[in-house]
């Protein structure tokens, strides 16, 4: 069973429809008890970092998410849901993220050659850190390097440990667009809106 965590800030319908396309049993949850009965979880997200953390806190979901991950159950954060995995964000000084991965969420620099937010299609460059030289992130199975996916964001995560970066994207700077650490996955883009490439990633997620 795959849980989609509904805290009022995510694209629930599109994610659910995409997962069910590949035979997944999906449960949309908004309380911690239901999360315990699922072996995978998806945290989508659209909106502000501090508002999202406040919503998770109000629904008592923070400790449940951390417990899910600590129990080595598979977890996928999408867009803001990926950013929330980190310690803090420039978007909301003083607000604390989930702190599951060390690092900050940064805003794209103000440069005349790029528009902020980034909205539209861009490429992912698959990374192979030395510690994973024989492995490719399971979400990227059969995904060609330099594939195009759909982004909509002004902020991006900057992990302290570069070994968790599974793919990068160039938008004025190179930023981490996919992260992977053990049972933890994150996509800064929206796989549910990324046509065949994104759907293949979600199929890979279902098959983990």
Enclosing domain of residue 25: 2-206
CATH classification at residue 198:
3.40.50.880
- Say what the pLDDT of residue 11 is: 80
The span from the CA of 131 to the CA of 136, in Å, is 11
Is 137 an annotated catalytic residue?
A: no
- Say what the pLDDT of residue 110 is: 84
- Across the 208 residues of the chain, what is the mean pLDDT of every consecutive 10-residue run? 92 93 95 94 94 95 97 98 97 94 95 88 85 74 96 97 96 96 97 97 97
Peptide bond into 117 cis (omega under 30): yes
Q: Which of 38, 68, 137, 190 is catalytic?
A: 190
The span from the CA of 127 to the CA of 116, in Å, is 25
Indicate the pTM of the whole model.
Answer: 0.94
The count of structural domains within the chain is 1
- Say what the pLDDT of residue 132 is: 55
Q: Which of 38, 79, 91, 153 is catalytic?
A: 79
- Give the bridge partners for 76, in sequence order: 42, 185
Is 20 an annotated catalytic residue?
A: no
Is 192 an annotated catalytic residue?
A: yes
């Amino acid at each position: 069973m795959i849980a989609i965590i509904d805290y009022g800030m995510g694209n629930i319908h599109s994610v659910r429809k995409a997962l069910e396309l590949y035979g997944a049993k999906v449960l949309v949850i908004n309380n911690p008890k239901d999360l315990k009965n699922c072996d995978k979880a998806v945290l989508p997200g659209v909106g502000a970092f501090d508002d999202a953390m406040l919503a998770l806190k109000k629904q008592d979901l923070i400790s449940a998410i951390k417990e899910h991950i600590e129990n080595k159950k598979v977890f996928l954060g999408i867009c803001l849901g990926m950013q929330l995995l980190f310690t803090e964000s420039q978007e909301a000084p003083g607000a604390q993220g989930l702190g599951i991965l060390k690092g900050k969420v940064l805003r794209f620099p103000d440069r005349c050659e790029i528009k902020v937010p980034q909205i539209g299609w861009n490429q992912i460059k698959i990374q192979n850190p030395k510690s994973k030289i024989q492995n490719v992130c399971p979400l990227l199975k059969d995904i060609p390097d330099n594939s195009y996916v759909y982004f909509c964001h002004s902020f991006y995560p900057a992990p302290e440990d570069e070994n968790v970066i599974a793919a990068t994207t160039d938008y004025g700077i190179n930023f981490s667009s996919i992260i992977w650490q053990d049972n933890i996955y994150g996509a800064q883009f929206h796989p549910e809106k990324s046509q065949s490439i994104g759907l293949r990633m979600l199929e890979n997620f279902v098959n983990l």
